[in-house]
């Protein structure tokens, strides 16, 4: 285990304090991309990804587009029988109740910007299923990520989400590979960064919640429903552009929490701000 410096220990201690303040399990990986310096908390433990898994699925799809297997402009028919159930989030289903014909580019946008479960399942089908999607991620050297079930299956049973898991360290490694352009072409990387930089306002209370106004963040959230006071996953992963131009990859997972949504999201915001402040002071 690497020996932490005094300042690193200070950030580690802040992470521990935040963990002590929540009624659930907290996992963190914070990585300065330009130097590789990384600080973790429960970084090697498994956490359910929920909709965060739409990020690696989008990467796998764009990789196949780069390989010439598909085009962004290919039109895909989505039959209404392929829509996820009403208790799952799907703007495509709600906007096109009789079915839809959308380009792959639009489907990727729905998958990331609007976290559309139907869009996610269409991408998985095009990739050849969950095993094939996972295979792409593992071939990039990121093996502590499991893509095992579709949204259709996951929506129907709250406990199935644990089968789609990642460690914070692995997710941050994937964020680093993505940002450094080691898995995707420049155009695909820029497109996905664009989609991850646009999110609904209610998702801005996590990584972005306590950051200075105007800070650039490209991220993907994931959230489970709350049943009998228990929320199995409240997540946010992304890349923060620091004021000096460096880039911070950050993954924050909260599993099995009995806290309110406000408190869970504030915990993520506190983690993000602590990491932001630490690397601002260590130039």
Radius of gyration, alpha carbons of the chain: 18
Helices 186-196/104-113 angle, 10° precision: 40
Q: How many Cα neighbours within 13 Å face the side chain of 16?
A: 6
Per-residue pLDDT tens digits for 105-128: 999 999 999 999 999 999 999 999
As a whole number of angstroms, the distance between CA 194 and CA 266 comes to: 25
As a whole number of angstroms, the distance between CA 250 and CA 281 comes to: 17
Per-residue pLDDT tens digits for 36-62: 999 999 999 999 999 999 999 999 999
Q: Is it the case that residue 83 has pLDDT exceeding 70?
A: yes
Per-residue pLDDT tens digits for 216-233: 999 999 999 999 999 999
Per-residue pLDDT tens digits for 233-251: 999 999 999 999 999 999 9
Long-range (24+ apart) CB contacts under 8 A made by 138-142 are 140/174, 140/177, 140/182, 140/183, 141/173, 141/177, 142/170, 142/173, 142/174, 142/177
Q: Is it the case that residue 215 has pLDDT exceeding 70?
A: yes
Residue 9: the pLDDT is 79
Residue 3: the pLDDT is 42
Residue 33: the pLDDT is 98
Q: Is 51 among the catalytic positions?
A: yes
Query: One of 113, 151, 169, 265 is an active-site residue; which one?
Result: 151
Q: How confident is the model at residue 7 (pLDDT cuts 50, 70, 90)?
A: low
- Domains along the sequence of the chain with CATH: 22-281 (3.40.710.10)
Query: One of 19, 29, 38, 51 is an active-site residue; which one?
Result: 51
Other CB atoms closer than 10 Å to residue 201's CB: what's the count? 7
Residue 1: the pLDDT is 44
Residue 47: the pLDDT is 99
Exposure class string for 18-37: b at 16+ Cβ within 10 A, else e: bbeebebebbbbbbbbeeee
Other CB atoms closer than 10 Å to residue 236's CB: what's the count? 29
Q: Is 151 among the catalytic positions?
A: yes
Q: Mean pLDDT across the stretch 258-267?
A: 98
Work out whether strand 217-223 and strand 226-227 pair parallel, antiparallel, or are unpaired. unpaired
Write out the H or E segment, with its range, that includes residue 130: helix 130-139
Q: Mean pLDDT across the stretch 94-103?
A: 98
Other CB atoms closer than 10 Å to residue 7's CB: what's the count? 12
Q: How confident is the model at residue 5 (pLDDT cuts 50, 70, 90)?
A: low
C-alpha torsion 149→161→274→8, nearest 10: -80
């Amino acid at each position: 285990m690497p020996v932490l410096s005094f300042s690193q220990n200070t950030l580690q201690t802040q992470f521990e304090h935040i963990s002590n303040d929540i009624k659930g399990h907290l996992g963190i990986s914070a990585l300065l991309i330009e130097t590789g310096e990384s600080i973790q908390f429960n970084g090697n433990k498994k956490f359910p990804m929920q909709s965060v898994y739409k990020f690696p699925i989008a990467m796998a799809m764009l990789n196949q587009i780069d390989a010439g297997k598909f085009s962004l402009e290919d039109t895909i028919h989505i039959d209404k029988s392929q829509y996820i159930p009403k208790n799952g989030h799907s703007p495509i289903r709600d906007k096109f109740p009789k079915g839809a014909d959308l380009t792959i580019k639009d489907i990727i946008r729905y998958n990331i910007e609007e976290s559309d479960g139907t869009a996610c399942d269409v991408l998985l089908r095009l990739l050849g299923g969950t095993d094939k999607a996972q295979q792409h991620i593992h071939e990039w050297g990121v093996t502590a990520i499991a893509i095992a079930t579709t949204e259709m299956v996951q929506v129907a049973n709250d406990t199935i989400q644990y089968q789609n898991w990642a460690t914070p360290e692995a997710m941050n490694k994937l964020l680093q590979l993505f940002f450094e352009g080691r898995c995707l072409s420049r155009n695909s990387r820029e497109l996905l960064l664009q989609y991850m930089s646009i999110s609904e306002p209610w998702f801005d209370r996590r990584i972005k919640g306590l950051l200075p106004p105007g800070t650039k963040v490209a991220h993907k959230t994931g959230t489970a429903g709350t049943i009998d006071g228990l929320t199995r996953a409240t997540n946010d992963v992304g890349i923060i552009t620091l004021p000096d131009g460096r880039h911070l990859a950050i993954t924050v997972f909260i599993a099995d929490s009995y806290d309110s949504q406000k408190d869970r999201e504030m915990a993520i915001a506190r983690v993000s701000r602590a990491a932001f402040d630490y690397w601002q002071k260590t130039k």
